[in-house]
A = this chain, B = another copy of it.
């Protein structure tokens, strides 16, 4: 069955069944807007646009994984503010000749991610388009009044990162090359795990600043330092670099870790006296390793990478979504 056969309202009916029914006091699809219960005070609000040929390639991604990821990248932004996700709206630009079953699988993947992180898809918009695109808008709650912004890093704070860097980019390259080894890496690209569970534990230790790794560790760290008006040292030997055992790629693991992007790990800073406890509780409660990879310095020191071979200025070579 093609999208053009069932029409906009037929498709909305099918997709509504996948996302389920709202509880008391909420209205999802079927009205001019969604009606949502919101906590008082502060809300987090984010949006991410994914376009075929720019953000995804249907030769290496199926609809379920694509749907999962479209929600996950937005959830990661909420997590990076110390929050938890609540309700999403999804806009789809669809080619009329697409199969309805494909769109339903896309929605099943979105719903899988939504269920996993205890949030819901509360409606959206659907249009015909020559480019396949998915635009997600997501609101989330911070923990009470605590919002962990990029701009809170202070001189002397420890610089930390969750998990492993470069796996998302390595997985992408394996998929592109058609290499069947290391399914774990391919999965990191197709189904990134936003670090919501880690944040729920970590925020009790009051990190001073945080950002998620979407554009690449180097570029995202530079964003954080610029917003906080600080410098930093990064110790190369402390970075949790992707292990490429069993496969060969045209880029070095260290390069993927610094500049690969799409890891959806969290870079954060925290006063040194709380580092050990933060590492311990996150490991104990989620199993995720945190690495201390450097330290925050005064702004005039710049952002410096320390390797065996000497010091160098850390440069951004990550994504710019308007330049090819």
Contacts and interface: CB of A to CB of B under 8 A. Distances in A.
A94 interface: yes
Contacts of A303: none
Given A33-B46, A81-B32, A89-B137, A130 B131 contact: yes
A322 B7 contact: yes
A189 interface: no
B322 A94 contact: yes
A47 interface: yes
Number of copies: 2
A212 to B, nearest CB: 6
B128 A324 contact: yes
B7 A150 contact: no
A293 to B, nearest CB: 19
A122 interface: yes
A291 interface: no
Given A54-B129, A96-B322, A80 B32 contact: yes
B30 A34 contact: no
Interface string A1-22: 0011011110100000000000
5 contacts: A27-B149, A32-B80, A49-B91, A54-B128, A94-B322
Closest 10 CB pairs of A and B: A40-B40, A137-B137, A33-B46, A135-B135, A32-B80, A131-B131, A49-B91, A32-B77, A33-B44, A47-B89
